[in-house]
Amino acid sequence: MIHPDTFVQPTDRGMGLFASRDFTRGEILWILDDHDIKIDLDVFETIDEKQKVKFNIYGYLDFQKRVIVPWDEGKYVNHSCDPNSTGLLQYDNVSLALRDIKAGEEIIEDYGSYFGHFESFECRCGSPNCRGLISEHHKFKADLRINLKDISDRLKSLDQYLLRIETFENREFLKVLDAVEVSA
C-alpha cells in the first residue's frame, strides 16, 4: 500500500513515483498489504514466459521467496544507485524514507536492496555512484537497508499513516517493531 501523499508521472525511465509533500527520514512510504500479488517462487517459475513480463517489470523477490507485485502505484518506484528510500534489514516488505524527501522529488530505491528482481537494464540514474548495469543476477546488498534497531525509535515516534490501516501485513510488522523494544 503506497502512501496517499504520492503521485505518478512520466520520467525518462518510464513512469515514476513522486512525493506530493515533504517526507521525513523514517516515514513509511509503502508497506505490503492484503491486495498485493504474492506468488511463491516455485509457482512463479511454472508460469508461461509471456505472462511473466509484468511480474518481471514490477515485481521483486522478498525474503520469504515470494514474488511480490504491488497492486497500486508502489510498482512505479524506479531504481537509482543513490536512493532516497529503502527497506529494513529485518523486515522486507516495507519501504521508508532513507533521508528527508522534498515535495516533487521522485521516490527511488536501489534494486540491489531487494532479495531479487527479474530484469537486467542499463542504469541511467546519473549518480556519481552509478553501477552501470543493474543485473537480475545481483547479490543482495544488506548494507543498502536500514537496521531496524537503528531506526525503531524514530519509526515509533512518527505519525505513520500507513500503519493506521488494519491489514495482516501491518499486524505482522507491528509485532516485529514491538519485539525490538522488548530486546533493547
- Of 4-8, 15-19, 46-50, 117-121, minimum mean pLDDT range: 117-121
3-state helix, strand, coil in the chain (%, to 5): 30, 25, 45
159 CB-near residues (< 8 Å, 6+ apart): none
How large a percentage of the chain has pLDDT more than 90? 55
Question: pLDDT tens digit string along 20-70?
Answer: 999 999 999 999 999 999 999 999 999 998 888 878 888 888 888 898 889
| 44 within 8 A of 93, measured Cβ to Cβ | no
Question: pLDDT tens digit string along 85-97?
Answer: 999 988 888 999 9
Q: What is the per-residue burial (b if ≥16 Cβ within 10 Å, else e) of 32-41?
A: bbeebeebee
171 CB-near residues (< 8 Å, 6+ apart): none
Of 95, 100, 48, which is closest to residue 75 (Cα–Cα)?
95
| 109 within 8 A of 77, measured Cβ to Cβ | yes
pTM of the model: 0.89
* SS3 call for 155: helix
In this predicted structure, what is the pLDDT of residue 57? 82
Of 119, 123, 67, 73, which is closest to residue 92 (Cα–Cα)?
67
**In terms of pLDDT, which residue wins out, 57 or 155?**
155
Quote the cell numbers at residue 119. 530484469
Question: Which residue reads 522529488 in cell numbers?
Answer: 105
pLDDT at 183 over 80: no
- CA torsion 79-80-84-90 (nearest 10°) is 60
Q: Beta partners for 55?
A: none
- In the chain the domains, ranked by start, together with CATH numbers, are 6-183 (2.170.270.10)
pLDDT at 123 over 60: yes
| 73 within 8 A of 1, measured Cβ to Cβ | no
Q: Using 50, 70 and 90 to split pLDDT, how confident is the model at 184? A: very low
Of 111, 183, 121, which is closest to residue 144 (Cα–Cα)?
111
Quote the cell numbers at residue 51. 505472462
In this predicted structure, what is the pLDDT of residue 132? 87
| 91 within 8 A of 163, measured Cβ to Cβ | no
Average pLDDT score over residue span 65-81: 91
